[in-house]
A and B are shown apart, each in its own frame.
Chain A
Amino acid sequence: MIPLSWYLALAAILFCIGVCGFLTRRNVIIMFLSIELMLNGVNLNLVALSHFLDSVRGQAFTFFIITVAAAEAAIGLGIAIALYRSRRSVHVDTINHLKG
């Protein structure tokens, strides 16, 4: 039997890898990928807790999180494509159009 704390530690490490990627990388797509890593860390936490609490609740939440992750990927990548299309020469330190 694997103790719960192992799962929690692994989930925490995975989440922090995601945070690190999000903070340090500058490529938009890798930033989205880092968000997926963070969501996976949370998913692992939820599934582990739901197993150790004899409940299906955490797994239901994980199901919803996967749904939201799919939606997030679709919208985020759509934005990335629109961004790329609107400025072909993308050295986009210049994405500041919303600054007014």
Chain B
Amino acid sequence: MFLQLFFGYCALMIVVSGLLAISLRNPVHCVLMVLVLFFHMAGLYLTLNAEFLAAVQIIVYAGAILVLYLFVLFLVSLREELHLTAFVPNAWLGRIIAAGLAVGLIATIPAFSLGEKSAWTVAAIREATHTKALGQELYTSYLLPFEIAGLILLVALIGGLVLARRDENGADAPESGADGKEVLR
């Protein structure tokens, strides 16, 4: 009973803060709403016996990624936001597409049936502790993906450095962009 109440609370907070995050005008408020959402996601992970992932969710998502977003928001001044053309011509069309997708996805849930169960029962995980169980799986069955994940992080690191680097010779970026265009022509 307590678990269901906790789930209901987390689900309510997730949906409300998610909706607020995509509808508030001020981008900083949006990021803070997503922060609330991530904390409640971590709560849901706890109900699923995934303690390690709950910790990672808070440390990496809330602690690192959202702070990165906030930094960039403050770097890119709030008055002049970066705007792109939206993918759909009308905002209501986008909302209708999303609502239709939600209805379609939820309608298919009753047809879903679980596959075969594996060896890591709750008791087995509890005996080995969750972090150890996940580590065993990561470093044996998923060793290659783990290495690739490391490589992706390296690429992201180098890419972030290159992208955010200032030009040394003081040439303004718009000019060099224009130059590039001239050369292409």
On A, residues with C-beta under 8 Å from B are 1-2, 4-10, 12-34, 36-37, 40, 43-44, 47-57, 59-60, 62-64, 66-75, 77-93, 95, 97, 100
User: B114 touching A53 by the CB < 8 A rule?
Assistant: yes
In the assembly, what is the distance between CA of A47 and CA of B76, in Å?
35
In the assembly, what is the distance between CA of A95 and CA of B85, in Å?
9
- With A47-B45, A54-B121, A67-B153 as contacts: A20 and B95 at CB distance below 8 Å: yes
User: A74 touching B60 by the CB < 8 A rule?
Assistant: no
Please give, as numbers and ranges, the residues of chain A lying within 8 Å of B50 by CB-CB distance.
Answer: 47, 50-51, 59, 62
Contacting B164 at CB < 8 Å: which of A62, A66, A73, A81?
A: A81
Q: Which of B115-160 contact A (CB under 8 A)?
A: 115-122, 124-125, 133-134, 137-138, 141-142, 145-146, 149, 152-153, 155-157, 159-160
In the assembly, what is the distance between CA of A18 and CA of B41, in Å?
15
Q: In this complex, which of B53, B60, B112, B122 has the most chain A Cβ atoms within 10 angstroms of its Cβ?
A: B53
